[in-house]
Structure 1
């Protein structure tokens, strides 16, 4: 699926990297004195594949690169090209590849990055951030991942690992600034009873000393539109989740852009008692809607 306009920074960076890799492949082909048709025939590929790879319209596989350098007598370039491909794959990690070893495995990989991070800044406009989800909410979210991506069901293990990740909320060397929209509190992504428990959890989270929880109410005038959620890990990485992939952006201009957007959201968010008032109001509305009708 195509990404929304809000993903332009991430996708442009990805496209540039893919085009740069394609340009290098073209140079190897031309250096070998081969036309695109000749190279495709020697590798038993359809003719359009060479063009797509060289123009950055398709990402090569490891096998593609090994076959390419062999056909162009450039085996000494394989290591560098494969390293470039690895960086490209890390930047745009498709969920099918990330989750093929299970959701627990992905949660473990996130924990490894968590250990290195001191400041977590997260903005969410759709779902409760994973770091503050209740087990029940997390279970429902993982069930939806299984349904959408048709992957093996290891929900129990994934929930356990997510809860273990949340232990870092209590570490004094970690700081968290989380911003959510009121829509996050009202979307019916889980049952009402689960959501009430989740909202109660947020009330407690808002009182934690090293967690700053902001809520942007429906009546708030935004500075920048809340197009999609994202996470800033220190000043080193921006992580964005789409339906198809996890984007990991590391270029300084991308980090600066998302830092600026985050601060614009933070400037209009409500904190402390004001944030809890919004959460409480949503809890009251939700509870009223779950009461049995009077006969």
Structure 2
């Protein structure tokens, strides 16, 4: 589902909500009257009906009860699940903290056999040390003002690394050299993270490629993404996208392969990591 498809689905849900308000068995309700019944600002009614705000499941339950259509809840909730399964806002996902998000990725990676990643901003979670993960997760908790369940989220992320020792899996991971330089954590933590990466090179289940800063590129680095078999996940500052479909998969595979052409592996990758490691004063 693209962002345009998501917005269209949200607008269609809004039209259905407006229809229910207009056809209330209690008599036609105005938006103002419904807002008064629900104890909501009238602007929320308008935003929901015009597809400018995504309702929660609780919003839908309150709406059907207030408009006299309790039997419509399952239909509306199914619509909501349908488009939210693709675009998941961080505000909603992090309402219960970061651990549930980590567990969702753990499940997705556990069920996949071939995993491909491109990351230009930080070291991917499955290769992180606990201290590096703690710094990354802490910065996002601060950004989104989410519950600070950092230690639980770190433990969950570390459990994901069991897949690295599963002979039935193959990880094809590409990292932009810039991600190795990024001071997203204290210098000593970054140094230990780079040491961890050095040890990853040569693992049976992992093919780690580094795209050097001075490499000729077929494409700009762009945003990072994972491909879990035939499903793509990527993220923005606002939301996480879980995408399916032949066209989506083909595009991301093509991007990955074009970036792969600029990557170095094995001893060359270790030399790049070592060069960055030597530049860090701890």
Is 1:277 the counterpart of 2:248? The answer is: no
Is 1:22 the counterpart of 2:17? The answer is: no
Distance 1:280 1:51 in 2: 56
Partner of 1:157: 152
For residue 214 of structure 1, give the secondary structure of its aligned residue in structure 2.
strand
**Cα shift readout 1:201-241 (whole Å, capped 9, x = no counterpart):** 11111211111111111112222222211111110x22122
Partner of 2:32: 41
Q: Call closer, same or farther: CA 1:27–1:262 in 2, change over 3 Å.
A: farther
Distance 1:203 1:213 in 2: 10
Q: Note the C-alpha offset of 1:11.
A: 2.3
Unaligned runs of 5+ in 2: none
**Cα shift readout 1:39-59 (whole Å, capped 9, x = no counterpart):** 413412666555533432221
> Which of these residues, 212, 218, 235, is aligned with residue 217 of structure 1?
212
Q: Note the C-alpha offset of 1:242.
A: 2.3
Partner of 1:119: 114
Q: Note the C-alpha offset of 1:200.
A: 1.4
RMSD (CA atoms): 2.7
Q: Note the C-alpha offset of 1:268.
A: 1.9
Q: Call closer, same or farther: CA 1:207–1:21 in 2, change over 3 Å.
A: same
> Which of these residues, 75, 89, 109, is aligned with residue 80 of structure 1?
75
Is 1:95 the counterpart of 2:90? The answer is: yes
Distance 1:273 1:11 in 2: 41
Q: Call closer, same or farther: CA 1:247–1:117 in 2, change over 3 Å.
A: same
Q: Is the 8 A contact 1:122 1:178 kept in 2?
A: yes
Q: Is the 8 A contact 2:24 2:68 kept in 1?
A: no
Q: Note the C-alpha offset of 1:73.
A: 5.5
Q: Call closer, same or farther: CA 1:269–1:124 in 2, change over 3 Å.
A: same
Runs of 4+ in 1 over 6 A off after TM superposition: none
Q: Is the 8 A contact 1:43 1:67 kept in 2?
A: no
Partner of 1:265: 259
Partner of 2:237: 243
Greater mean alpha carbon deviation, residues 114-123 or residues 250-259: 250-259
Number of matched residues? 276
> Which of these residues, 224, 229, 235, is aligned with residue 224 of structure 2?
229
Q: Note the C-alpha offset of 1:166.
A: 0.4
Distance 1:186 1:105 in 2: 29
Q: Is the 8 A contact 2:21 2:29 kept in 1?
A: no
